[in-house]
Structure 1
Amino acid sequence: MTKRSHIAVPLLVVLASGQAQADFYSCKDNNGHLITSDRPIPECADKSTQIYRNNGILKAEIAGALTPEQRRTAELQQQQREAAARQAEADKKEQRYLLAHYPTEQDVELERKKALDAVQAKIAAEKKNIAINTDAMNKVHTELTQLPKDQPVQINQKKNKEDDLKLTIAQSQKLILRYQTDEQSINREFDETHKRYIELITNHK
């Protein structure tokens, strides 16, 4: 039994029509007209439907089908919830790592120093190489200026050696610049780690 009402009909009036023991379904059609029935209403398949007990108390509500825009909004909200959940889990993992890896604040700085010492040792080694190769290049250059012009083979050999030493020095200089960039990255990383560690310790007090 389906009844279509074009005005607002009190639900209890409908319920008093002889179906005292049945649940009643209610929804509004595309024109906003109230539809009631003692069984699921086909016209309400894509609309919000309320199910009432025979005493007029709301038993359940069935959500209607989402519009494309509502579906996109729901999907976006779900993606945001999932992203927030992933971030929360990542934060928990980071917190567990920090507390396990750095028992105290001083341990963070000790780890920074250890990382910086390794890079600075590489810089020192390259500077030493530059000094050694610069001395060698200066020596070759001096020898080159002292060679008679009638010894082209020896002159070319000295020039080639001088060029090789220049190239070696340039490579060491490039390595130093790269290691200095590494130093900056290490400091930025440990600055952030230190900050996060302090926040974590403060929040756990």
Structure 2
Amino acid sequence: MSRYRGPRLRVVRRLGGLPGLSRKSPRKTYPPGQHGQARKKRSEYAVRLEEKQKLRYNYGVTEKQLIRYVRKARRATGSTGTALLEMLEMRLDNTIFRLGMAGTIPGARQLVNHGHITVNGRVVNIASYQCRPGDVIAVRDRDRSRRLVETNMEYPGLANLPSHLEFDKNTFTGKVNGIIEREWIALQINELLVIEYYSRMA
């Protein structure tokens, strides 16, 4: 299944708040479609599927990528669900979004893909690059790149900077000081249901 490029507010209405997908909030609070306002009982499978879709749409990953992240998380020490969220949060596109250089994760991905971002002094154009503690993330030293980020910073996606990041607004330089803690993850999700979804699919 490829990356979603359809109407974002439709997804937000269906799944609830997705801070990485859209800054806008929908006028209608019920899900889209003919039966959006009709209350219907959801099965356990539907609940797990919805939690998985929240992850996919918020972080902008494909089904294949998400399965790979789940497999890596299973091999990691500690809680599988927490390890999965940490890996998704430490992606370069998400880190740029959390630094405030872009209003959404798709916007941050575009900055990376177009070569506007450097990591430790080298241009990195792979959005899925895993940031590590000590990485210095900066805007490329070009007028066009700086103008783009300046414009984006007028309308940041999330106001609060997580404790594992620091950012200098004068030089457009950020630093990763550690791994994100669970309480700083903005997405409201039950990650255990996502792990359960994939364990039952296997």
- TM-score tier by shorter-chain length is under 0.3
Greater relative CO (CA pairs within 8 A, separation 6+)? 2
Structure number with greater Rg is: 1
Taking structure 2 as the reference length, the TM-score comes to 0.22
Taking structure 1 as the reference length, the TM-score comes to 0.22
